[in-house]
Amino acid sequence: MNSVFKPRKTKIFVFGFMFVSIACTAYPWINNFFTSSSSSSIHYRSQFSSIFSYIFPNSSLVSTVGSSGSGLTVDFKQKDGILVKNLGKKSADNKKGGSLNERNMNGSGVTVNLIKSLIECDLFQGKWVKDESYPLYIEGSCPHIYEAFNCFLNGRLDKSYQKLRWQPNECNIPRLNGSDMLERLRDKRLAFVGDSLNRNMWESLVCVLRNSVKDKNNVVEISGRREFKTEGFYSFLFKDYGCKIEFFQSPFLVQEWEMVDNNGHKKETLRLDIIESSLSKFKDADVIVFNTGHWWTHEKTSKGKDYYQEGNHVYNELNVVEAFHRALNTWAKWVDANVNPKKTLVFFMGYSASHFSGGQWNSGGACDNETEPIKNETYLSSYPWKMNVLETILKGMKTRISYLNITRMTDYRKDAHPSVYRKQNLTETEKRSPERYQDCSHWCLPGVPDSWNELLYVQLLIQQH
């Protein structure tokens, strides 16, 4: 019996000695591993992934578990000096929720596949389609619409122009989610700077976002101006989000000027070489949307006689195309020198089409009989020269500018202008005075500018992704 048990005791002793040796050797690593794990918020499953990576160092994929318990495959790597993670295939233990691309990434219906489709899509080539779920807010529900844009208040009865949404040819764009957009703009400042078409867009966005807020009393004007007829600076604060939506009137983006001529009379000029003085107030905004265009078609600017100035020199005559190019060049240099692209997203709105029939805005042009959009592309206008100039300037800038080229999409919409519905209680005589009362440049609200803001929302989704 003793001879039988002697080898077993020896084996037990040998195995016991080996176990103690391995335990003593591995203890510092094990202790450090579990100590570091307990100090972090990483789920215990990731510890096994770490061990797996330790044993198989060639594998760069680490399976982590998010707050929802879903196993996502993540590849960590350095990009521009920052540790980033690439989402890969979903782990096999969570198939019920579908693939990562099919899951809601932020609660607003925005998925990776959607973002990819939007990036690859020409958002500005498409058509207007009927959609009974529109408009984005009920007519008459927003008290912040300027009378000249409030066609419902001014007696327009047809509603079909409100029931159209923009549909790009290559993709589907998401409906503007006001709550999600406000969340993305939390504690941020979005400023529209430009002419009255940018004001049209600004009022639209204020109304869309206000519609998503439960307590409307928490949307307050903080600019000190209650009468929207006054040109200048306007700002609304969405108190629940600490978000400001602002507008500053600057129709040329460069400085309107006064000088004294040789006869001692004051003369109005436009300084092509000086940026509008108040733009410095907006350079630190988180999002800036610029525009200019319509005021360059007015008589004084279009003729260019004794009006454009650089330095102390007033040109006897300067072609409006050249003047527009010089003004935008001044704006571009200012943006490149003063706006921080790491902080601020900069957009430029394209030219919004007008639809005066039988004359221009000051010569009897009208659009009050238009109730349907243009459906035949052959009736669209030629591309405005102003946009060719703008695109040339944008290509030469250091700062990245997101160009919202709305020209073609607005050209279809001859049905959606205020026309005679720009003032309350018009008499029949006033309705037949187009020089004073026909507006075929701006847009009824709700209406076309709501779609511009949907495209702005899409751009924010893309750039914040």
Per the omega criterion (within 30 degrees of 0), is the bond before 168 cis?
no
C-alpha closest to that of 331 among 343, 316, 314, 348: 348
Relative to beta strand 266-275, strand 308-310 is parallel
With contact defined as beta carbons under 8 Å apart, do 347 and 290 qualify? yes
Over 263-314, what HEC string results? Answer: CCCEEEEEEEEEECHHHHHHCCCCEEEECCCHHHHCHHHHHCECCEEECCEE
The number of helix segments (H) and strand segments (E) in the chain equals 12, 16
- Helix, strand or coil, per DSSP, at residue 242: coil
Give percent helix, percent strand, percent coil of the chain, each to the nearest 5: 35, 20, 45
439 is catalytic: yes
Taking residue 315's Cβ as centre, other Cβ atoms within 10 Å add up to 17
How far apart, in whole angstroms, are the C-alpha atoms of residue 260 and residue 268?
A: 9
Out of 63, 196, 204, 235, the active site residue is 196
The two structure tokens encoding residue 446: 């709700």
How far apart, in whole angstroms, are the C-alpha atoms of residue 271 and residue 313?
A: 10
Residue with tokens 């919004």: 352
Taking residue 306's Cβ as centre, other Cβ atoms within 10 Å add up to 15
With contact defined as beta carbons under 8 Å apart, do 285 and 246 qualify? yes
Residues constituting the chain:
465
Residue with tokens 């100035």: 309
Out of 325, 355, 417, 442, the active site residue is 442
Relative to beta strand 71-79, strand 82-90 is antiparallel
187 is catalytic: no
Residue type, 400: R
Q: What phi-psi label fits residue 449: left (phi over 0), alpha (psi between -120 and 50 degrees) or beta?
A: alpha
250 is catalytic: no
Relative to beta strand 287-290, strand 126-130 is unpaired
Q: Which residues lie closer than 8 Å to 277 by C-beta, 6 or more apart?
A: 255
Residue type, 116: K
C-alpha closest to that of 416 among 144, 159, 194: 159
Chain centroid to Cα 253, Å, comes to 20
With contact defined as beta carbons under 8 Å apart, do 46 and 63 qualify? yes
With contact defined as beta carbons under 8 Å apart, do 188 and 195 qualify? no
Catalytic residues, which ones?
196, 439, 442
